[in-house]
């Protein structure tokens, strides 16, 4: 079972999200039909949106799942050399707990709900 991964935000992930959000048309003026934009206009819009996402978007899983924490750490080290990483944190699979510290039980399966939790012995890299 793969139980370790890296959460954070990278410039590459932010750019990919921005490219999905930005289409090839922009709304027309005074409710007219949308107009096509050029590659240069789209690139500028994507760059601006990617910068916003990188700074403000919540962290998310940015690595595949690994079997051991050292593999996740190696992945993070390589990612930090290749691109800018914000808020990187090593996570481990574990039971979800509520505010009182009680394990949350799934209503469907009757088993503890499993989620990603911060890996306690890991110091933040970013």
* Of residues 125, 21, 103, 107, the one with CA closest to residue 117: 103
Q: Residue 115: which residues within 8 A CB-CB, separation 6 or more?
A: 93, 94, 95, 96
Task: Report the share of the chain in percent with pLDDT over 70.
Answer: 95
* Of residues 4, 1, 11, 16, the one with CA closest to residue 89: 4
pLDDT in tens, 69-103: 999 999 999 999 999 999 999 999 999 999 999 99
Average pLDDT over residues 8-14: 95
Q: Which pTM value belongs to this model?
A: 0.78
H runs (alpha helix) in the chain: 11-21, 39-56, 69-82
Task: Give the lowest-confidence range in 1-5, 11-15, 28-32, 81-85.
Answer: 28-32
């Amino acid at each position: 079972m793969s139980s370790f991964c890296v959460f954070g935000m990278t410039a590459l992930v932010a750019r990919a999200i921005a490219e999905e959000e930005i289409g090839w048309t922009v709304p027309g003026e005074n409710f007219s039909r949308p107009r096509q934009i050029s590659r240069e206009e789209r690139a500028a819009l994507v760059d601006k949106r990617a910068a916003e996402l990188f700074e403000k978007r919540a962290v998310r899983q940015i690595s595949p799942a690994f079997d051991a924490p050292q593999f996740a750490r190696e992945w993070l080290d390589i990612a930090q050399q290749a691109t800018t990483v914000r808020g990187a944190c090593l996570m481990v699979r574990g039971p979800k707990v509520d505010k009182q510290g009680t394990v949350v039980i799934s209503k469907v399966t009757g088993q503890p709900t499993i989620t990603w939790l911060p890996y306690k012995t890991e110091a933040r890299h970013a």
